[in-house]
């Protein structure tokens, strides 16, 4: 059995100027609303994994769904919020003096989130529980179809990969973070413990 985790293509939101926390919150909302860059192409490795799938699992975010459709336009896309990217804890107040680029905000807030700060968003602990549920869902689909393909998100794919490995799936220890990154995990015993 096989489970493949693919990160979505590049977002069509290309703004990269410095912004305060309130502007970054709006940037995140726009990022989550938009799809991928027009004409965005994935590698042959990604197409190879997705082309034979009759169903591609995705999150319910547009960039994930559009990425799946570009991998295999004939596959049924099954979107589920279970596979959504982990949120970032945007500070409650405005920090007008602190102006950072979006990637810098994301790294800073992700570090704070990993340390336990989860202002108005899912906690790291809850995200790990959701990743466990996602790995069980993918395992169930792989048992039924012999493989499952998820077109998801960078950080949440990493959490899912960790859960798969705990369950005995064999694959890369850490998922890649680049767009269109593909990581495949294999189980010889149904994904239930060591083989």
Q: What is the CATH number of the domain that holds 119?
A: 3.40.50.1240
In a domain, 14, yes or no: yes
Contact 127, 113 (CB under 8 A): no
In a domain, 126, yes or no: yes
Is the pLDDT at 193 greater than 50, yes or no? no
Is the pLDDT at 104 greater than 90, yes or no? yes
Average pLDDT of the residues in 42-67: 92
pLDDT digits (tens, 9 = 90+) for 120-163: 899 999 999 999 999 999 999 999 999 999 999 999 999 999 99
Is the pLDDT at 190 greater than 60, yes or no? no
In a domain, 74, yes or no: yes
The pTM assigned to this predicted structure is 0.92
In a domain, 82, yes or no: yes
User: In the chain, which ranges are continuous DSSP H helix?
Assistant: 21-33, 44-51, 62-71, 102-114, 124-145, 154-166
pLDDT digits (tens, 9 = 90+) for 107-119: 999 999 999 999 8
pLDDT band for position 192 (cuts 50, 70, 90): low
In a domain, 103, yes or no: yes
Report d(CA 138, CA 163) in Å as an integer. Answer: 11
In a domain, 195, yes or no: no
Report d(CA 153, CA 85) in Å as an integer. Answer: 5
Task: Say what percent of the chain tops pLDDT 90.
Answer: 76
Name the DSSP class of 82. Answer: G
**Overall number of domains in the chain:** 1
In a domain, 34, yes or no: yes
In a domain, 83, yes or no: yes
Specify the pLDDT at position 195.
Answer: 37
Its domain, for residue 8, covers 2-186
């Amino acid at each position: 059995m096989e489970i493949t985790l693919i990160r979505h293509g590049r977002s069509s939101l290309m703004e990269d100027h410095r912004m305060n926390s309130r502007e970054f919150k709006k940037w995140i909302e726009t990022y989550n609303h938009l799809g991928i860059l027009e004409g965005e192409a994935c590698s042959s490795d990604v197409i190879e994994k997705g082309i034979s799938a009759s169903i591609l699992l995705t999150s319910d975010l547009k960039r994930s769904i559009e990425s799946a459709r570009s991998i295999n336009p004939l596959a049924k896309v099954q979107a589920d919020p279970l596979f959504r990217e982990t949120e970032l804890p945007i500070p409650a107040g405005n920090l007008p003096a602190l102006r950072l680029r979006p990637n810098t905000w994301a790294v800073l807030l992700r570090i704070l989130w990993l340390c336990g700060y989860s202002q108005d968003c899912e906690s790291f602990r809850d995200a790990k529980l959701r990743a466990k549920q996602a790995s069980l869902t993918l395992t169930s689909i792989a048992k039924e179809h012999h493989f499952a393909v998820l077109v998801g998100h960078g950080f949440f794919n990493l959490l899912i990969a960790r859960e798969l490995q705990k369950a005995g799936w064999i694959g890369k220890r850490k998922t890649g973070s680049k767009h269109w990154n593909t990581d495949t995990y294999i189980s010889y015993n149904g994904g239930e413990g060591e083989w």
